Amino acid sequence: MKIDVVGAGLAGSEAAYRLASRGFEVRLYDIKPNAFTPAHKSPLFGELVCSNSLKGKDEYSNACGLLKAEMRLMGSLTMEAAAHSEVPAGGALAVDRELFARYITQKLTSMGNIEIISKEVTQIPEGWSIICAGPLVTEPLYESISGICGGQLHFYDASAPIVSRDSLDFLQCFYGDRYGKGGDDYINCPMDKVQYEKFWEELVNAGRAQLHSFEKREIFEGCMPIEVMAERGRDSLRFAMLKPVGLTDGAGNRFYAVAQLRKENSAGDAYNLVGFQTNLKFGEQKRVFSMIPALENAEFLRYGVMHRNSFIQSPDCLNADFSHRRSGRTFFAGQITGVEGYVESAASGILAAEHLIRKLKKKPPLIPPATTVSGALSAYISSPNDNFQPMNANFGVLLPLVERVRDKKERYRRLAERALGDMREYVQKLDT
C-alpha cells in the first residue's frame, strides 16, 4: 500500500518525509518541474515564496519561535533545512532560499520509499492521502476539494522585492540591528521627514498591477502590501516596516524613518526589503522604492508580486487530526487548512502524517494539547467558527495559564515552558 501526498511545499515535504521515515511507501505528487504556480519559480521542493524569514527564534518571547522549538522536538525536516541554510538576521531565523529548498529536495529524493511523480493531480485520490496542495492549488483539484469541503475562501498575499547589494549607496545606509541585538545583520536605509513624506505620497498614488477593490478581510494582515498599509495614514509606515526606533548609525544619529534590508542568500550579494510586500507594477516599484536615498540606483533582482491564496472552511469539514470528517482516508495539511505561515504549514504536515499513521494502525487520535502552539492551531482549524480566517502562531491561541500573570514577558515565558514540557510528553506518547 502506498500513501499519496499531494504537493511538495513545506507541509507536503514534512508529511512525505515523516511517512517514509516511519517505513511507509509514499507517492509524492507535485506539478514541478513540468509546470509552476504564478508565485513559484524554482523546480526544488519546499520553495519559500513570500520571504526568506521563518520569523522569530526565541521561544520564550515569540510564539513562532515556540512553534519551531516544538517542531524540533518532533524531528522536523524544515528545521533541519533551516539550520543548514541559515543566514544572519538578528532575532529572526532567515535562510538562503535555494540552499534551504535544495536540502529538502535532496532528502526526499534520496529516500528509497518515496516515489516522486511530476504531474498535476486533478482529483482527490481514492486511497489514503494527505492533500498539501497549498494556497495556490490548481483550479481542477480545488474544484474536487470543494466537492467535499464546500465553497471557496481566499485572501490575497504578496511578496517583497530583492535588490543587489552592490547597487546600494553605502554613503546613505549603514549596517546594524535594532538596539544592536543582531550585530550587522541588517542594512538600514534612513530617510528624513521630507524624504519620507515624498516617498509616502508617491507610494499611495502609485500604479498597481491588479486593480482589485480589496475588502479588508481579503488581505492577510501579516503580509499586507506596503501601499495598502500606507493608506491607513501618513505615519502608518513609521509605526510598521519603516519604524526608526532602536536604530542608530555609528555616530549615534537617529532618523525619521528607516527601511531595513535582510540578507537573501548566504553569499550576501542579494537583500530583500523587509516588509515591502507589494502589488505595485514593476516599473512603479523601481520608481517609488528608488526614492529611498540608499536605493536610488538599486538593481532589482526580483520584483514583488501579489497572488490569491485559497483555503477551505476547515471547521466545517476537518477534525483536529486534520482528517476529513466524512472521507476518513483523506487528510489535509498546510496553508490550505487555514494555518498561515511557513512554520505553521510545516508543523501541520508533520502532525497530519502522524495522525494518518495512527489511523492505519487503528490507534485512537492523539492531538497535541492546547497548551502547545501545535495543539492550539489544530483546535483552531477544527472548532466552530462563523468568521474563519487564516491564523498565525500566537500566544493568544494557547490555553491560558491557571494563574494570572500581569507581566507579559513573564507570562510568555511560563506559557513557553509549559508548552515545551507538554510537547516532550506528547512526542513520547507518539512512539507508544
Per-residue pLDDT of the chain (432 residues; tens, 9 = 90+): 899 999 999 999 999 999 999 999 999 999 988 877 766 778 999 999 878 899 988 899 999 999 999 999 999 999 999 999 999 888 889 999 999 999 999 999 999 999 999 999 999 999 999 999 877 788 899 889 888 887 666 666 677 899 999 999 999 999 998 877 767 889 999 999 999 999 999 999 999 886 444 444 455 556 688 999 999 999 999 999 999 999 988 888 889 999 999 998 888 888 999 999 898 999 999 999 999 999 999 999 888 877 677 788 899 999 999 999 988 899 999 989 989 889 999 999 999 999 999 999 999 999 999 999 999 999 999 999 877 878 889 998 999 999 989 898 999 999 999 999 999 999 999 877
Beta carbons of 15 and 108 less than 8 angstroms apart: no
3-class DSSP state of 53: strand
Q: Annotate 64-74 with b (16+ C-beta within 10 A) or e (fewer).
A: bbbbbbbbbbb
**Residue 223: per-residue pLDDT:** 67
User: Which residues, listed in sequence order, are joined to residue 129 by a DSSP beta bridge?
Assistant: 4, 330
Compute the 3-state secondary structure of the chain and give helix, strand, coil in percent, each to the nearest 5: 40, 20, 45
Among residues 378, 366, 375, 384, the alpha carbon closest in space to that of 428 is found at: 366
Among residues 289, 263, 233, 330, the alpha carbon closest in space to that of 100 is found at: 263
3-class DSSP state of 379: helix
Which tens digits make up the pLDDT trace of 194-233?
999 999 999 999 998 864 444 444 555 566 889 999 999 9
Beta carbons of 158 and 222 less than 8 angstroms apart: no
Measured from the Cβ of residue 213, the count of other Cβ atoms closer than 10 Å reads 5
Which residues contact residue 283 at a Cβ distance below 8 angstroms, ignoring those fewer than 6 apart?
207
246: alpha, beta or left? (left if phi > 0; alpha if psi -120 to 50): left
Whether the CA torsion 343, 349, 355, 361 is positive or negative: it is negative
For residue 166, what are the CA distances in angstroms to 43, 97, 262?
Answer: 27, 20, 14
| DSSP H or E stretch at residue 43 | none
Beta carbons of 419 and 70 less than 8 angstroms apart: yes
Amino acid at 198: K
Measured from the Cβ of residue 270, the count of other Cβ atoms closer than 10 Å reads 20
Beta carbons of 278 and 304 less than 8 angstroms apart: yes
Phi and psi (nearest 5°) for 4? -90, 130
**Residue 362: per-residue pLDDT:** 94
Which tens digits make up the pLDDT trace of 379-432?
999 999 877 878 889 998 999 999 989 898 999 999 999 999 999 999 999 877
Among residues 261, 292, 296, the alpha carbon closest in space to that of 190 is found at: 292
User: Which residues, listed in sequence order, are joined to residue 27 by a DSSP beta bridge?
Assistant: 4, 115
Q: What is the DSSP string of 274-339?
A: TT----B-HHHHHHHHTTSGGGTT--EEE---EEEEEE--HHHHB-TTSBBSS-TTEEE-SGGGTB
**Residue 81: per-residue pLDDT:** 98
Report the helix count and the strand count for the chain, using DSSP H and E: 12, 16
Domains of the chain, each with CATH number or no CATH = 2-156+310-430 (3.50.50.60), 162-304 (2.40.30)
**Residue 211: per-residue pLDDT:** 47
Beta carbons of 303 and 281 less than 8 angstroms apart: no
